[in-house]
Structure 1
Amino acid sequence: MAATPRISRRTLLRGAGALGLAGTTGLAACGRPVDTSAQLPDVSGGDYDGPPITLQFWNGLTGGDGPVMRKLLAEFTAAHPAITVEMYAIPWSNFYQKFPAAVVSGLAPDLGLMHNFQVATNAARQVIVPLDPLAEALELTESDYLPVVWGSGLFQGERWSLPLDMWPDSLFYNRRVLADAGLDPDAPPTTGEEYLSALETLRSNDIQGHWLPAIDPQGVGRGFDSLLWQMGGELYDAEGGQALFGSEAGIRALEWQQGLIDAGYSPTDVSGSDGNVAFKNDQNAFIWGGPGALINDLAKVEDLDWDVAPLPRIGPNRAAFSGSHQFVLMRQREFDPDRISAVVTFLRWITDNSIGWASAGPVPARLPVLQQPEFAELEAQSHVAEGVEHIRFYPLVPGIAEVQTTILYPAIGDALLGQASPADALARATEQASFLLSENLTKYREVR
Structure 2
Amino acid sequence: MTTDRRAAPRLSRRGFLGAGAAAGTAVLGLTGCSGATGGRTPLDYWHLMSGGDGILMGDMVAAVNASQQAYTAAQTVLAWGSPYYTKLAMSSVAGRAPDLAIMHHTRVAGYAPGGLLEPWDVAELERLGIGPSTQPERIWQKGQHEGQVYSIALDSHPYIMIVNTDHADAAGVLESDGTVEISSPEQLVEVGTRLAEVTGGTGLSYGFLGDGASMWRFFYTLYRQQGAEMVLTPGHPAEYDMDAAVTALTTVRSILDGRIAVQSNDLGGSIAEFVSGSTGILFTGVWETPTVEDAGIPYSAVPIPTMFSEPAAYGDSHAFVLPRQASVDPDSRRAAYEFVAAMLKSSGTWAQAGHVPAYLPVVESEEYQALPASSYADVTEILNYDPEAYFSGSGSNFQNYFAENIQTVLLGRTEPQEGMTGFIERVNSLLMQPNPAAPAA
TM-score band, normalised by shorter chain = 0.7 to 0.9
Corresponding residue number in structure 2 for 1:96: 85
- How far does residue 136 in structure 1 lie from its aligned partner after superposition? 4.5
Whole-angstrom distance in 2 between the partners of 1:91 and 1:241:
33
Does structure 2 conserve the Cα–Cα contact (< 8 Å) formed by 1:208 and 1:264? yes
Task: Quickly say closer, same or farther: Cα 1:444–1:96, change in 2 above 3 A.
Answer: closer
Whole-angstrom distance in 2 between the partners of 1:439 and 1:239:
8
Q: Secondary structure at the match of 1:220?
A: helix
Q: Percent of aligned positions with the same letter in both sequences?
A: 25
Corresponding residue number in structure 2 for 1:385: 377
Whole-angstrom distance in 2 between the partners of 1:181 and 1:105:
59
Does structure 1 conserve the Cα–Cα contact (< 8 Å) formed by 2:151 and 2:320? yes
Does structure 2 conserve the Cα–Cα contact (< 8 Å) formed by 1:412 and 1:422? yes
RMSD, aligned α-carbons = 2.3
Whole-angstrom distance in 1 between the partners of 2:417 and 2:426:
14
Q: Matches of residues 140-155 of structure 1 in structure 2 within 5 Å? A: 140-155=130-145
Does structure 2 conserve the Cα–Cα contact (< 8 Å) formed by 1:173 and 1:308? yes
Corresponding residue number in structure 2 for 1:279: 274
Q: Secondary structure at the match of 2:43?
A: strand
Q: Secondary structure at the match of 2:163?
A: strand
Whole-angstrom distance in 2 between the partners of 1:273 and 1:92:
17
Q: Secondary structure at the match of 1:57?
A: strand
Paired residue type of 1:387: V
Q: Secondary structure at the match of 1:87?
A: strand
Q: Select 1:168's aligned residue among 145, 158, 166.
A: 158
254-263 vs 278-287, which moves further: 254-263
Q: Secondary structure at the match of 2:118?
A: coil
Q: Does 1:397 align with 2:389?
A: yes
Does structure 2 conserve the Cα–Cα contact (< 8 Å) formed by 1:122 and 1:398? yes
Q: Matches of residues 35-434 of structure 1 in structure 2 within 5 Å? A: 47-50=33-36, 51-93=39-81, 94-133=83-122, 134-184=124-174, 186-192=178-184, 194-205=187-198, 206-215=200-209, 216-237=211-232, 241-245=236-240, 247-262=242-257, 264-291=259-286, 293-301=287-295, 303-379=296-372, 381-401=373-393, 402=396, 404-434=398-428
How big is each residue's C-alpha offset from its partner over 1:26-52, in whole Å with a ceiling of 9 and x where there is no partner?
xxxxxxxxxxxxxxxxxxx98324331
Task: Quickly say closer, same or farther: Cα 1:433–1:396, change in 2 above 3 A.
Answer: closer
341-350 vs 178-187, which moves further: 178-187
Whole-angstrom distance in 2 between the partners of 1:246 and 1:407:
18
Corresponding residue number in structure 2 for 1:37: none
**Runs of 5+ consecutive residues of structure 1 not aligned to the other structure:** 1-44
Q: Secondary structure at the match of 1:92?
A: coil
Corresponding residue number in structure 1 for 2:22: none
Paired residue type of 1:209: G
- How far does residue 445 in structure 1 lie from its aligned partner after superposition? 4.2
Paired residue type of 2:402: L
Q: Secondary structure at the match of 1:125?
A: coil
Does structure 2 conserve the Cα–Cα contact (< 8 Å) formed by 1:230 and 1:319? yes
How big is each residue's C-alpha offset from its partner over 1:380-417, in whole Å with a ceiling of 9 and x where there is no partner?
x1111132211111234212234632322332212111
Q: Secondary structure at the match of 1:386?
A: helix
Structure 2 length normalisation: TM-score?
0.84
Whole-angstrom distance in 1 between the partners of 2:275 and 2:181:
20
**Runs of 5+ consecutive residues of structure 2 not aligned to the other structure:** 1-30
Paired residue type of 1:435: S
Does structure 1 conserve the Cα–Cα contact (< 8 Å) formed by 2:156 and 2:315? yes
Corresponding residue number in structure 2 for 1:33: none
Instruction: Give the length in aligned residue pairs.
Output: 400
Does structure 2 conserve the Cα–Cα contact (< 8 Å) formed by 1:175 and 1:305? yes
Q: Secondary structure at the match of 1:108?
A: coil
- How far does residue 139 in structure 1 lie from its aligned partner after superposition? 4.6
- How far does residue 354 in structure 1 lie from its aligned partner after superposition? 2.0
Whole-angstrom distance in 2 between the partners of 1:145 and 1:240:
33
Task: Quickly say closer, same or farther: Cα 1:171–1:75, change in 2 above 3 A.
Answer: same
- How far does residue 194 in structure 1 lie from its aligned partner after superposition? 4.2
Task: Quickly say closer, same or farther: Cα 1:295–1:266, change in 2 above 3 A.
Answer: same
